[in-house]
Amino acid sequence: MKFKVPRGTQDILPSESWKWQKAEQLIRETCEVYRYSEIRTPMFEQTELFQRAVGDTTDIVSKEMYTFKDRGDRSMTLRPEGTAPVVRSFVEHKMFGWVDQPVKLYYIEPMFRYERQQAGRYRQFVQFGTEAIGSADPAIDAEVIALALEVYKRAGLKDIKLVLNSLGDKESRIAHRDALVAHFTPHIDEFCSDCQNRLEKNPLRILDCKVDREHPLMKTAPSLTDYLNDESRAYFEALKELLTIAGISYELDPNLVRGLDYYNHTAFEIMSTAQGFGAITTLCGGGRYDGLSEEIGGPPAPGIGFGMSIERLLLALEAEQVPLANDDALDVYVVTLGEAAKKEGFHVLQKLRSAGIRADMDYLDRKMKAQMKSADRLQSKWVTVIGEEEVEQQIVQLKNMAEGTQQSVTVTELIELIKG
């Protein structure tokens, strides 16, 4: 019997894992600069949390969740997205009472969605997301958008664009909803069964349909922008002005509605415009969710956040052929000749490592030439050679690989030189 990695998942091998570490590192640094703190929530939650928070008519809840009964007969679901768990935690831990408001959180965690596998779409993927909860100031929307863009910029991406829309407040959405129903009802039998369902439950979702996206009625659908009331319009204008102040350019897309039910006002996506990126070009999606806390039993707590997967970030880097900086080359490779030298070499190796120096040696009793080859392959900056003579004199031969120079030094000198 042969076992394989489950469909839609991947093993991240050492040739790739360093990229993940770099990406996570630059994300954490950016969050620190913007003063967002990490939150870690469980990998599974009560199913009902997602049903309520994300919404029954969304793709996520209606067909993508990994739901199972635990041994106590409770329905649990592997986390498909990060906002609902974070807001659940916000309510449960009464973060609305914290002195420091709004509460600014981020996470880097695996998400699970039962999707058809394709490039950039996995069943387990890692999402970096932020949530700023407790403020309805358009400035925090601008901050969150700036943070997301900053991550891509720091990673070295150039071919990206910000796409923006406003979904308005409840009143605006109800007016728009009525217009949508009137627009789609006469031709609803030309749409997929999901859309037919959505017409009654949540017609806005039709605009986000991946099956019927080319239907002519999609292009002529009433635009949300025309249904924004004064307050919603003012909010959107304020956000756009702040983005301009921050030097952030954007494109408007009145059909951008996002996959989740709980969004209002600001909705945005960051897309890759790189040649050859493939069919899926959205790198990051986010928006404002002012009613979500109440929806799951908490007090009013307006919030905004986004989610982006590391998978798509790395794909975009590949598409733009931007290499992530890799400064992980070895500092020292310890080459030894003979039994006694091997023991001394092991001793030197441990001393180097204790001093925080990246060092390694041969464990296959290879000849000197093969050991030197390993040092080369590992791009070691230095090589120490230890033979019988060196053991007797308590020294090592130190080679600087870039300069091709060699000198005899004691172990203490060796450490000083390399740390130098």
Is residue 168 within 8 Å of 267, Cβ to Cβ? no
Q: Does 131 bind ligand ATP (CB under 6 A)?
A: no
Question: Rounded to whole angstroms, what are the CA distances from 4 to 1, 7, 8, 10, 11?
Answer: 10, 8, 11, 10, 10
Which stretch of DSSP H or E encloses residue 90? Answer: helix 83-92
Largest CA distance in the chain: 94
**Tally of CA atoms within 13 A in the half-sphere of 354 that contains its CB:** 8
Is residue 128 within 8 Å of 323, Cβ to Cβ? no
Q: Does 26 bind ligand ATP (CB under 6 A)?
A: no
Q: Does 307 bind ligand ATP (CB under 6 A)?
A: yes
Q: Which of 135, 309, 336, 384 binds ligand ATP (CB under 6 A)?
A: 309
- Taking the complex as a whole, how short is the minimal distance between the CB of residue 64 and ligand ATP, in angstroms? 8
Which stretch of DSSP H or E encloses residue 172? Answer: helix 170-184
Q: How far apart are CA 20 and CA 87, in angstroms?
A: 27
Nearer to ligand ATP, 308 or 337 (CB): 308
Nearer to ligand ATP, 84 or 414 (CB): 84
Q: Which two tokens stand for residue 363?
A: 């464990």
> How many Å is the Cα radius of gyration of the chain?
28
Nearer to ligand ATP, 266 or 371 (CB): 266
- Taking the complex as a whole, how short is the minimal distance between the CB of residue 26 and ligand ATP, in angstroms? 16
Q: Does 284 bind ligand ATP (CB under 6 A)?
A: yes
Residue whose token pair is 């069919």: 279
Q: Which of 50, 112, 125, 184 binds ligand ATP (CB under 6 A)?
A: 125
Q: Does 253 bind ligand ATP (CB under 6 A)?
A: no
Of the ranges 94-102, 230-238, 282-290, 403-411, which one interacts with ligand ATP (CB under 6 A)? 282-290
Q: Which of 41, 282, 400, 408 binds ligand ATP (CB under 6 A)?
A: 282
Per DSSP, the three-state class of 66 is: coil
Touching ligand ATP, residues 67-96 (CB under 6 A): 81
Q: Does 113 bind ligand ATP (CB under 6 A)?
A: yes
Q: Which of 49, 209, 280, 378 binds ligand ATP (CB under 6 A)?
A: 280
Of the ranges 11-19, 38-46, 243-251, 305-313, which one interacts with ligand ATP (CB under 6 A)? 305-313
- Taking the complex as a whole, how short is the minimal distance between the CB of residue 288 and ligand ATP, in angstroms? 13
Q: Which two tokens stand for residue 92?
A: 């449960």
Q: How far apart are CA 60 and CA 71, in angstroms?
A: 24
C-alpha dihedral sign at 364, 366, 371, 373: negative
Q: Does 265 bind ligand ATP (CB under 6 A)?
A: no
Q: Which of 102, 285, 291, 345 binds ligand ATP (CB under 6 A)?
A: 285
Q: Does 303 bind ligand ATP (CB under 6 A)?
A: no
Query: Cα–chain-centroid distance for residue 143?
Result: 17
- Taking the complex as a whole, how short is the minimal distance between the CB of residue 80 and ligand ATP, in angstroms? 8
Q: Does 165 bind ligand ATP (CB under 6 A)?
A: no
Of the ranges 71-79, 134-142, 199-207, 281-289, which one interacts with ligand ATP (CB under 6 A)? 281-289
Q: How far apart are CA 80 and CA 54, in angstroms?
A: 10
Q: Does 115 bind ligand ATP (CB under 6 A)?
A: yes
Nearer to ligand ATP, 151 or 284 (CB): 284
| C-alpha closest to that of 210 among 65, 51, 59 | 59
Q: How far apart are CA 104 and CA 34, in angstroms?
A: 9
C-alpha dihedral sign at 158, 155, 16, 363: positive
Per CB under 6 A, residues contacting ligand ATP are: 81, 113, 115, 120-122, 125, 127, 259, 280, 282-285, 307-309, 311-312
